[in-house]
Each structure stands twice: as structure tokens, then as C-alpha cells.
Amino acid sequence: MAKTKTAFFCQNCGTQYAKWVGQCSACKEWNTIVEEIIHKENNIPWKDNGTQEVTAKPVLVGQINASREFRLDICDKEFNRVLGGGLVPGSLVLLGGEPGIGKSTLLLQIALRLNLRTLYVSGEESLKQIKMRAERIHPNNQTCYILTETKTQNIFKQINDIAPDIVIIDSIQTLHSDYIESSAGSISQIRECAAELIRFAKETNTPVILIGHITKDGNIAGPKILEHMVDTVLQFEGDRNYVYRILRALKNRFGSTAELGIYEMQGDGLREVNNPSEVLLSKSDSGLSGTAIASTVEGMRPLMIEIQALVSSAVYGTPQRSTTGYNAKRLNMLLAVLEKRAGFKLGAKDVFLNITGGITVDDPAIDLAVIAAILSSNADIPIEKNVCFAAEIGLAGEIRPVQRVEQRILEADKLGFSTIFVSKNNKIALKQPKINVELVSKIEDVVSKLFL
């Protein structure tokens, strides 16, 4: 009988220690190290000692027979795109996100829409709760089974009976396996349950989607190794107070991680947003100062976003700078550039900046729109509704070129903008777009064209 083996794991980051310590040396958290019983490891020597049969042989890459990858269409354009064209059979997808963002809603919605046998396993909600949610989303579905169970062995038993085409687990942190003694949600339980599910997925070629909780600093709870084990890691994000949600891939073995899916949370589930620019721009047509529109690119998709700035005299000695959806340090840098290079005295002003729709953008190409919004609010002169911007600002106050400028110009053109400001140094090889492309190199050029 083998001795039970234990090890110490940091519950925050998953680092393993041989003995207890007070502070995790990897993530610097205190009192997070907990002893857990780990699976008995069978030490199989890498050399064939006669008892091991050889199962896999090296194959020349040219001789591998790879027919075109079959992809399961999951009836959700945005999700399909983020996955790289659909779900690959036998793959494991991990979906992470803040509590209440809509992970369960998104996956239940997919399970209900699909015309395949789906098994939705929930360890978090009761059958009644799920039924109520299902009623809201898609009231009549005949092929979706719901199971409330947390023990993996029991789940596999049910899977053997039902033989589902796709399995959804809500959530990996609530599962526990009999082979491990520690409690559900601990590092070694998560690892073991994920390993069992991976074995199941690969052996039966059934895709499995897992929901994962995230920790307070935004990482998926559990061992980092979980993210290495699965094929795809998706993140569902957005501001809970707004209706828009963004789905992005952080890791994808079967596609690009640059794609992005946008949803709108409604009373009856999540609606796919196929034309994001239109919803992110506010519809008001009265000219308000402090608003500018930027042409940004998220993943492969061009997106027009609205930036609002408010500049007012500071009430306190130290002026406030506050941002929503934009990096505050970058705002400070742009204000310094405006002060030093363009001579605008904003040192004694409060500056507030907001990207509408509750989305966060870190594309530097929105710099020029940020500056335009600030200057417009400062001078209290509105920018015309059909003008937009796509350029980065350098520390010397120069207007710098941005990537994929043609795509941005075309998107602005498509949405009916009449003028777009871009850097003089951008090489543009477009054949006569309808839109007027203003080439600028200094902030002063923009000011004189917009406000004088």
C-alpha cells in the first residue's frame, strides 16, 4: 500500500511547496498555503523496461494524415468566430469571467439553441433555477439535459447513459473527484477534475466547455496549469452596469486570439451584436462639446467608439484626473504633451474621460480622439458629428501613424463619416474612398482645422 502523499499549495497562485511556509514566494500572499493530499504518482521510467508497451511512434510530419478540421457550428456567430470557426470535437474550452457577468447565461443559451444532445452540468444552481433561466432564454428545447451534480465519477456515469454530443460544466471549481481527498475548489481537486475531463474529451471526441471562476485580480482561480491543460481559454468581460459584454480568446490552439465577440445582455439572454460600431455610438445629433469619435481595431474587427471628456476648473488644489475604460497614466501623458508641446494650460483643470458603452480600449490609435475630446470640452466648441480620428500621439507632440489604417478608414467610410484625421506618415493605399482623409502631423494642425 503506497503512502498517502501530501504537498502544500498556495491557494492563490497554485505554487507547490514541500513544507508549509507563511508567505508564498511566487505571489507574495500571506497565509494561503494549505496542505493537500495528492494523487499517488506512479513512477514510470521513461525507458522501456520491458513491462511497458510502446503505444506511440514518431511520425514524419509530412506523412501525418490531416483532413480539414471539422468544426461544430454552435449556432452563435460571435462565439464561433472567437473559437476560430466553431468548436473542435474533443477540445476543452475554459470560459472565465467575473461573477454575474453572464457566463452561465451564455453557455445555457448555447446549450438550448443547439440541435444536438447537450448535457449542462451545474454545481452552482438548482434545477429550478436553471429552468427559470431557460424559460427566459429559449422556452422549448427537447435535446438539452440538465444535471445538478458535482462528483466527477457520477457525472461520467450519467454521460455514459445519455451519450451527449457536447458537455458543459458550470463550474470547474465546484467539481470534486473521489481520487483526491481535498475539498472542491482546491488546487489539486481542480487539476484532477480537469485531467479527468480532458481524458474523457480526447477519448470520446466530445467537446467540453468549462466555466471557471476568476480571482480578485482577474486570473482564473486554480492552478495556472489548468490554462495549460485546456485547448482554449476564453474570457467574458464587460462592466456589469452596462449591457455590453465582450468575449475574447486568451489562448486558442485552433485559431487566432485576436478575434472578439460582442454581446448585449437583454431580458431574454444575450444578443449577438454583429455590427458593434452602430451600438457604441450614441444616437444624439445635437452638437455637444467634449465628444470625439475614434476608429479603433479590436482583434481583427474595426470598431468606432465614442470618447467623452469633461474639463472644468479644479475645485481643490490638486486637480482630479479620472478615466473610465481608458488608461489613466496615458491620459496624464497626453495632458502633459498638450501642456508642454501645444501650449494648453490644463494643469489647474479637472479632467474626466469616459469611453461610452462600458468598454475598455487600449489601442493607442484613440489618442488623437482623446485629445480632440479634451480640447473640445476645454474650448466648449463641439466637434462636428461626422468627423472621426485614428492616430497615436508621441511624446514630442507629433501625430504618429497607426496599424491597419486602411481598415479604420473603410469602417468610418461605411458608417457615413465625412472626415477622418490620420497621421501624415501613414501610407494609405486606398483607391478613392468617399471619406475625406485629413493628413496631419502636429496637434496644432488638428486644432486649426477643428476649432478655428
**Among 21, 265, 310, 381, which residue sits at the site for ligand TYD (rule: CB under 6 A)?**
265
DSSP 87: B
> What x-and-dash track marks residues 87-126 binding Mg ion by CB under 5 A?
-----------------x----------------------
DSSP string, 380-434: T-PPPTTEEEE-EE-TTSBEEP-TTHHHHHHHHHHTT-SEEEEETT-----S--S
Which listed option, Mg ion, ligand TYD, none, makes contact with residue 71 (CB within 5 to 8 Å by class)?
none
Of 294, 307, 303, the residue nearest 274 (C-alpha): 303
Q: Considering beta carbons, is residue 50 or 100 the nearer one to ligand TYD?
A: 100
> What x-and-dash track marks residues 127-166 binding ligand TYD by CB under 6 A?
------x--xx-----------------------------
For residue 312, report the phi and psi dihedrals to the nearest 5 degrees. Answer: -140, 165
Candidate ranges 42-50, 100-108, 272-280, 421-429; the one touching ligand TYD (CB under 6 A):
100-108
At closest approach, how far in Å is the CB of 110 from Mg ion? 14
Cis-peptide, bond into residue 171, ω within 30° of zero: yes
At closest approach, how far in Å is the CB of 252 from ligand TYD? 21
Q: Does 177 bind Mg ion (CB under 5 A)?
A: no
Segment holding 313, helix H or strand E:
strand 301-313
Of 250, 219, 440, 258, the residue nearest 363 (C-alpha): 258
Q: Does 442 bind ligand TYD (CB under 6 A)?
A: no
Candidate ranges 147-155, 174-182, 261-269, 420-428; the one touching ligand TYD (CB under 6 A):
261-269
Which listed option, ligand TYD, Mg ion, none, makes contact with residue 15 (CB within 5 to 8 Å by class)?
none
Q: Does 102 bind ligand TYD (CB under 6 A)?
A: yes
Q: What residues are paired with 209 via a beta bridge?
A: 93, 168
C-alpha 298/C-alpha 261 separation (Å) is: 10
Segment holding 200, helix H or strand E:
helix 187-204
The closest residue (CB) to Mg ion is 104
Footprint of ligand TYD (CB under 6 A): 97, 99-105, 133, 136-137, 265, 267-269
